[in-house]
Amino acid sequence: MRILICEDSALLREGLVRVLEDAGHVVVAPLADAGHLDQTVDETAPDLTIIDVRLPPTWTDEGVRAAISLRARLPRLAVLVLSQYVEERYASDLIASSDGALGYLLKDRVADVSDFLEAIDRIASGATVLDPEVVAQLLSRRRKDERMQRLTDREASVLALIAEGRSNQAIAKTLHVTEGSVEKHITAVFQKLDLEPDESGNRRVLAALAHLEHGGSRPATPGGTTPQMGTNR
């Protein structure tokens, strides 16, 4: 198999070259960054490209953006993305842009040579191979999303205001409803988020965290201070 490697760590890059060549594969190019990735892919016509998620110059998302771009331009090119840690957003973006012949593995998996080479073969044959840790975190994120989707628009608005640290009275004033209505909405939010009753007021904090993890924002209060969670309910 003809394989292109794009990995900024010289040690890992050379290690991958050795492992792959010892297994009978041909490494057509070992690149340290994605600057000439497209050109090199066109010139060498690899069967599979191995790309690090984070590459120079910013070491943020150059690698995964390059992988998504390659997938869009060359749908038949098999791509394996390597990452030091599970990065849910990048994994989700990559999977959403893919239709088979894709891998997302943690770099620790490369240490098990036989498993790594097996993953390479499966990806090249058109399979999608995801690291177990990636799958676990994506499923956890999906469960969180499903909980949030249970909320009505009004309940979501109430939760967003809870996350801003508003009291029930302030929420009622903002939404132009009674405090009794706010109480009912908050009770419904707790139930739909599967938050069990307690006597410490933690449910309010946990609900706010669920909102923030789902992508909600908590603006700063005047003066730049961080709002505190009310203890109502």
Indicate whether 221 pLDDT > 70.
no
Ranges of CATH 3.40.50.2300 domains, the chain:
2-140
At residue 209 the predicted structure's pLDDT band, cuts being 50, 70 and 90, is confident
**Two tokens at 6?**
């794009």
**The listed CATH number (3.30.460.10, 1.10.10.10, 3.40.50.300, 1.10.540.10) that belongs to domain 151-214:** 1.10.10.10
Does residue 117 contact residue 183 with C-beta atoms inside 8 Å?
Answer: no
Residues 136 and 218: their CA atoms lie apart, in Å, by 27
For residue 118, give the 3-state DSSP assignment.
Answer: helix
- Report pLDDT digits (tens) over 12-56: 999 999 999 999 999 999 999 999 999 999 999 999 999 999 999
φ, ψ for residue 181, nearest 5 deg: -65, -40
In this predicted model, which residue has the larger pLDDT, 140 or 46? Answer: 46
Cα dihedral 49, 50, 52, 58, rounded to 10, equals -30
Q: What is the pLDDT of residue 222?
A: 33
Q: What is the pTM of this model?
A: 0.63
| Lowest pLDDT segment from 21-35, 149-163, 173-187 | 149-163
Spell out the residues 6+ positions from residue 74 whose beta carbon is closer than 8 angstroms to its own. Answer: 41
Residues 84 and 55: their CA atoms lie apart, in Å, by 12
Ranges of CATH 1.10.10.10 domains, the chain:
151-214
Q: What is the pLDDT of residue 143?
A: 64
Q: What is the pLDDT of residue 139?
A: 61
**CATH top-level class for 2-140?**
alpha beta
The arithmetic mean of pLDDT across residues 153-179, rounded, is: 90
- Cα end-to-end span (Å), the chain: 62
Spell out the residues 6+ positions from residue 207 whose beta carbon is closer than 8 angstroms to its own. Answer: 159, 162, 163, 189, 190, 193, 195
